[in-house]
Amino acid sequence: MTTYLIRNAQLLGGAPQDLHLVDGVIAAIGTALDATADIEIDATGLIVLPGLVDLHTHLREPGREDAETVLTGTRAAAKGGFTAVHAMANTFPVADTAGVVEQVWRLGQESGYCDVQPVGAVTVGLEGKKLAELGAMHESAAGVRVFSDDGKCVDDAVMMRRALEYVKAFDGVVAQHAQEPRLTEGAQMNEGQVSGELGLGGWPAVAEEAIIARDVLLAAHVGSRLHICHVSTAGSVEIVRWAKAKGWDVTAEVTPHHLLLTDELVRSYDPVYKVNPPLRTAEDVQALRKALADGTIDAVATDHAPHPAEDKDCEWAVAAMGMVGLETALSVVQQTMVDTGLLNWEGVADRMSHRPARIGRLAGQGRPVSVGEPANLVLFDPAYRGAVNPDSFASRSRNTPYKGLDLPGRVHATFLRGNATVLAGELVEQGGLA
Ligand SMILES: [Zn+2]
């Protein structure tokens, strides 16, 4: 296995250190290390972080390989600095059986770019009618611990209660896509001043907040673990803050796009801004940033949602919802959280690696950057400036809201258990299916 000597990298943004990577682990850390390696990297000015962990990725395989595959999605993840992603269950077929989650898990293993941890569906076919085989998915080779009907809300309270009770047996967690379906029928964007002016169907904040309020109470009642996907409103933050103050086992994530973009962008009628949950107001964005900074929101999760051009380059009303996000996440977090002084790089490591790994109970990911730990690392250049160019994406889809936008920072290198998946900003071809 290739050995690496990384010279003068700023450990979590701190003082420059050398790191020696041997046999998949961090063999040594120090200044002016007396060591040799096959490849030496001058990391002057680069920050070293633990490999990022995404709790919320749509890899689209099986079924929508025209949008993304496990291979293209994990290549995009590596380019974004990720060493593990959770693959959402809303594929075709739905990942609601041991067979499908094992298939996704194996494809991830074969890709070699990034660990893929399949998320299992809560209900059969995401239909909300019958609990899926949660135990069988957990016991499969994929070892599923996170369950979600994401894309749809588990809106039946009894179904949600049963799922929360069931996953307790194996320390699992239910990740809820909080969207009260009746309150969002025909909804096209955030309900507020802009939706009123544009005459588009409104998606009220209460549709999200009502489900979160119900579910934190349910989780407390049955003593189970609940995770809230893509929190998008100031009111949702207040409920999560209240639940945590009660000592309940509730965690939450926010997407990069909800940290940066607002519903004002919908005035363009460009479907690239159509997303679920919708872009909210500037006040919501400020509340989300503050909550991520103070830890009320535990993690940044991309909700990477690739769509082929034909599903996005159309009228607003019929366009698919979602944005790609793996390759821009860290840059958006730098811009919104680090450059604003809200979070330091240690905080970024916590919200994008340590905590998401803990929520997903991923062993070997989200570990400290210290000697003896698996060498899951990202080298990031925070001084880089450049316009986002979707044509350079490794993702099969191009539906980014940041096209042409100057975002700070760039992933210089990513290591998965000591194996470079990205070097000098470029993917390193892996053996597997590449
Ligand atoms: Zn969702």
Catalytic pick from 54, 215, 303, 350? 303
Question: Cα(355) to centroid of ligand 1, in Å?
Answer: 19
User: Quick check: is 270 catalytic?
Assistant: no
Q: What is the pLDDT of residues 97-149, one digit of tens each?
A: 999 999 999 999 999 999 999 999 999 999 999 999 999 999 999 999 999 99
Please list, in sequence order, all residues whose beta carbon lies within 8 angstroms of the beta carbon of residue 314, skipping any fewer than 6 positions away: 271
**What pLDDT score was predicted for residue 147?**
98
Backbone angles phi, psi at 47, to 5 degrees: -100, 135
pLDDT higher than threshold 50 for residue 426: yes
Asked whether residue 59 is marked as a ligand-binding residue, the answer is yes
For residue 321, report the distance from its CA to the centre of ligand 1, in Å: 10
Instruction: Say how many Å lie between the CA of residue 432 and the centre of ligand 1.
Output: 30
Residue 434 pLDDT: 40
Task: Please indicate if the annotation marks 303 as binding a ligand.
Answer: yes
Distance 318 CA to ligand 1 centre (A): 18
Q: Read off the pLDDT of residues 359-399 as tens digits, 9 standing for 90 and up.
A: 999 999 999 999 999 999 999 999 999 999 999 999 999 99
Average pLDDT of the segment spanning 36-43 = 97
> Dihedral sign, CA of 98, 100, 102, 105?
negative
pLDDT in tens, 235-289: 999 999 999 999 999 999 999 999 999 999 999 999 999 999 999 999 999 999 9
| Per-residue CA distances from 63 to 90, 307, 367, 371, 402 (Å) | 10, 13, 33, 42, 27
> Any known ligand binding at 419?
no
* Closest by Cα among 54, 32, 143, 30 to 378: 54
Is residue 412 a known part of a binding site?
A: no
pTM of the predicted structure, to 2 decimals = 0.98
Count of residues for the chain?
434
